[in-house]
Amino acid sequence: MKLVRYGNPGEEKPGLIDEGGTLRDLSAHVDDIGGTTLSDEGLDRLRALDPSSLPAVSGTPRFGPCVAGIGKYLCIGLNYTDHAAETGNPIPEHPILFMKATSAVVGPDDDIVMPRGSTHTDWEVELGVVIGKTAKYVSVEDAMEYVAGFCVINDVSERHFQMHLSGQWTKGKSCDTFGPTGPWLVTRDEVADVQELDMWLDVNGKRMQTGNTRTMIFGVAEIVSHLSQLGSLHPGDVISTGTPPGVGLGMKPPVYLKAGDEVELSIQGLGTQKQRVREDV
């Protein structure tokens, strides 16, 4: 299934995209796309519905973040071999973990708003993993059973804030609008091999990033297992699993976003995002 949340910010309704690409309303069946809806039992109840019996949504409403009420937004850094190389960093021995504030989360096509004084705002196409049931001390072999599905994430980053304002990377990752998430949550049963997904990102129509999840240093199952050893993962938690090469920081000289730029990104089977960049006022 492709599950979505549509409508104005803060007023999103649950929906799904049927096989013909029509947006269908799920409001009569679930309150939102989050919490117990993401459990195997909750998703099975939605699978049992006949999509053609659901009301079709007219027009082209805005898509919000595809997960409601995100508890934790966990991010893995330097998780692609070729991205680690372009930034001059060694291959990590363990997954590098940082947090993105949930207040950064926006819809997939909402504007990227550069914070005041920003001159180093960067892009990162990433595979998002959405947790479906509580995971604690799970093995690599069992880890995928705790995943509800996958989505596209743009891990927008302000590199000066991240690297030169002291403290952790979170400073450069948590600015408002720095977490476009969606458009869809694609349930795990519809992704044949999560470690074989093409991904790309364009800025103003120019291809910047081209990658595939096969070059991850730590795969999805390993990441979920590792994080579950550190603390419980809960339904609706989101994990952003790292980016392939081609970020602005890695270019010589570095290239960063500016007001008026357009960013478009996609992951195979998971949909496309498109954002306009503007300055905060």
Helices (H), 14-158: 40-47, 81-86
- For residue 145, which amino acid is it? E
Alpha-carbon torsion, ordered 255, 77, 148, 184, to 10 deg: 0
Note the pLDDT of residue 56.
98
Closest CA to 204 of 271, 280, 128, 123: 123
Residue 43 confidence (pLDDT) above 90: yes
Note the pLDDT of residue 163.
79
Distance CA 277, CA 280 (A): 10
Note the pLDDT of residue 123.
98
- The tens digit of pLDDT for each residue in 76-103 reads 998 998 777 777 778 889 999 999 999 9
> In this structure, is residue 148 part of a structural domain?
yes
> What domain range is 268 assigned to?
68-279
For residues 37-59, average pLDDT: 97
Contact assessment for residue 133 and residue 40, using Cβ atoms and an 8 Å cutoff: yes
Number of domains in the chain: 1
For residues 174-180, average pLDDT: 97
Least confident of 84-93, 124-133, 257-266: 84-93
> In this structure, is residue 25 part of a structural domain?
no
Residue 223 confidence (pLDDT) above 80: yes
> In this structure, is residue 228 part of a structural domain?
yes
- Using CA atoms, how far residue 235 sits from 71, 73, 99, in Å, is 8, 12, 17
Residue 168 confidence (pLDDT) above 90: no
- Say which CATH number the domain at 95 has: 3.90.850.10
Note the pLDDT of residue 87.
74
Apex CA 33: angle with CA 29 and CA 37, to 5°?
65
Note the pLDDT of residue 170.
85
Mean pLDDT (the chain, rounded): 96
Contact assessment for residue 232 and residue 251, using Cβ atoms and an 8 Å cutoff: no
> In this structure, is residue 156 part of a structural domain?
yes
> In this structure, is residue 22 part of a structural domain?
no
Residue 176 confidence (pLDDT) above 90: yes
pLDDT bin (cut points 50, 70, 90) of residue 8 is very high
Note the pLDDT of residue 188.
97
For residues 63-75, average pLDDT: 98
Distance CA 184, CA 104 (A): 18
The widest CA-to-CA distance across the chain, in whole angstroms, is: 55
Contact assessment for residue 221 and residue 254, using Cβ atoms and an 8 Å cutoff: no
Note the pLDDT of residue 229.
98
- The tens digit of pLDDT for each residue in 230-256 reads 999 999 999 999 999 999 999 999 999
Pairing of strands 238-240, 262-267: unpaired
Closest CA to 135 of 184, 45, 74: 74
Pairing of strands 185-187, 147-154: antiparallel
